[in-house]
Amino acid sequence: MASKTKIYMVLEFITGGELFDRIARNGKLKEDEARKYFQQLIDAVDYCHSRGVFHRDLKPENLLLDSNGVLKISDFGLSALPQQEDGLLYTTCGTPNYVAPEVVKDKGYDGAKSDIWSCGVILFVLMAGYLPFEDSNLMSLYKKVISCTEIFFLDSD
């Protein structure tokens, strides 16, 4: 909606809170619940990518749940469309624990692939209840993300 001098944004009111809160409260999710949310996430990200929109800050804090448990992506403040002829993005942004290695390397990156990496980290968090890469020192964290030499095993319940 708009007037001559103002633009109004009308958004859906989401009452279920962040997916992050659900993980913080309950820990890792059961496989069927994680699969349900992950499928919704992948479907939503695929839709955005089909329109040329790359989120660039996917994380559980930006995934909201409505009263029926339907996942909604929020906070498109860092989203982008490719501006260069090569189709790559060049702004280093995103939440460090979820950012793709190529974003950290600062040489241009494919926005879709970067979002998919973040989805993979989210899936890990859903299934494990903790982050795959963590360090209080930002540079050390980025080194872990770039090298990605650790192999992760999830406990089976």
Active centre residues (catalytic): 57
Asked if 55 and 73 touch (Cβ cutoff 8 Å), the reply is: yes
Asked if 81 and 58 touch (Cβ cutoff 8 Å), the reply is: no
Q: Is the dihedral of CA 22, 128, 80, 138 positive or negative?
A: positive
CA 8 – CA 95 distance, rounded (Å):
28
| Cβ within 8 Å of residue 66, ≥6 positions away | 12, 14, 15, 16, 72
Could you list the beta-strand ranges (E) of 56-144: 63-65, 71-73
